Amino acid sequence: MRWRKRDYVAAGVRHALRVGVLLFVTYAAFGGVWRNYKVAHNSARLVSLMEGDRWGSAYAANEQLLSTLGEPYRASLDFLGMPWSATVLGVNTTDPILNLAHIVATGSLQLTMLLGSLVAILLAVALGKLFCSYLCPMRLLFEIGQLIRGGLLWLETPLPNLRSKTKLGGWVLLGGLLATLTAGTGVWFLILPYLGVTSAIFVAITAGAGAGLLVIPILWWWVDVLVAPGFFCRNICPQGFLLGLLGRASLLKLRTVRQTPCPSGCRTCQLVCPYGLNPREGTHTPDCDNCGRCVPICPKRKLGRRVRLPVIASSLAALLLAPAAALAHHNKGLPHYGYYENYPQVPVEENIVVDGRWEMGATLFNFQGLDRRTADTPNDVKFFIYVYDLELDGNYQGAIDFEIVDESGEVVSSFSRARVDEELLYSTRETLPATGDYELVAHLVDLDDAPEVHLSFHVDLNQDAVSWLLLLALTGPLVPLFILVALGRTRRGRSKRMKEQLAELADVAEESLA
User: What's the CATH number where 438 sits?
Assistant: 2.60.40.1930
Which of 295-317 are b and which e, b meaning 16 or more Cβ less than 10 Å from the residue's Cβ? Answer: bbbbeeebbebeeeeebeebbee
pLDDT for 481 equals: 67
Alpha-carbon 171 to chain mean position: 23
In-domain check, residue 192 = no
How far, in Å, CA of 398 to CA of 19, rounded? Answer: 48
C-alpha–C-alpha distance, residues 337 and 328, integer Å: 10
Residue 498 lies in a domain: no
Cβ-count burial of 476 within 10 angstroms (0-12 exposed, 13-18 middle, 19+ buried)?
exposed
Domain stops at, among 37, 59, 76: 76
Element counts in the chain: helices (H) and strands (E): 18, 14
Does residue 170 belong to any structural domain of this protein? no
Domain final residue pick, 464, 485, 506: 464
pLDDT at 346 over 60: no
Determine the Cα–Cα distance for residues 144 and 326; give it in Å rounded to an integer: 36
HEC assignment per residue over 134-166: HHCHHHHHHHHHHHHHHHHHHCCCCCCCCCCCC
Give the residue from 262, 253, 255, 252 showing the smallest Cα distance to 298: 262
Which residue type, as a one-letter code, is found at position 51? E
Residue 37 lies in a domain: yes
Confidence band, pLDDT 50/70/90 cuts, at residue 370: very low
Q: How confident is the model at residue 336 (pLDDT cuts 50, 70, 90)?
A: very low
What is the per-residue pLDDT across 56-80, written as a single tens digit (0 to 9) for each? 899 999 999 989 988 888 888 888 7
pLDDT digits (tens, 9 = 90+) for 444-459: 999 988 899 999 988 8
pTM beyond cutoff 0.85: no
* pLDDT at site 342: 39
pLDDT of the residue at 116: 80
Residue 109 is predicted with a pLDDT of 80
Q: How confident is the model at residue 412 (pLDDT cuts 50, 70, 90)?
A: very high
Contact 444, 410 (CB under 8 A): no
Mean pLDDT taken over the chain = 78
**Cβ-based neighbour number of residue 165 at 10 Å:** 7
In a domain, 397, yes or no: yes
Quick one: average pLDDT of 487-497? 67
285, 289, 291, 293 alpha-carbon torsion, rounded to 10° = -30
Residue 15 included in any domain:
yes
pLDDT of residue 505: 55
The whole-number pLDDT of residue 25 equals 87
Asked which of 19, 47, 76 is the last residue of a domain, the reply is 76
Give the list of residues 6+ apart from residue 136 with CB closer than 8 angstroms, or none.
18, 21, 83, 194, 239
Query: Taking Cα atoms as reference points, which of 1, 66, 19 lies closest to residue 38?
Result: 66
Q: Quick one: what percent of the chain has pLDDT higher than 70?
A: 77
Q: Provide the 3-class DSSP secondary structure of residue 468.
A: helix
Residue 353 has pLDDT above 80, yes or no: yes
- Domain coverage including residue 427: 347-464
pLDDT value of position 498: 62
**Domain-located, residue 65:** yes
CA 422 to centroid of chain Cα atoms = 33
> How many domains is the chain partitioned into structurally?
2
pLDDT at 15 over 80: yes
Please tell me what DSSP assigns to residue 422.
B
What's the rounded mean pLDDT across residues 482-509?
Answer: 64
- How many CB atoms neighbour CB 102 within 10 A? 21
51 occurs within a structural domain: yes
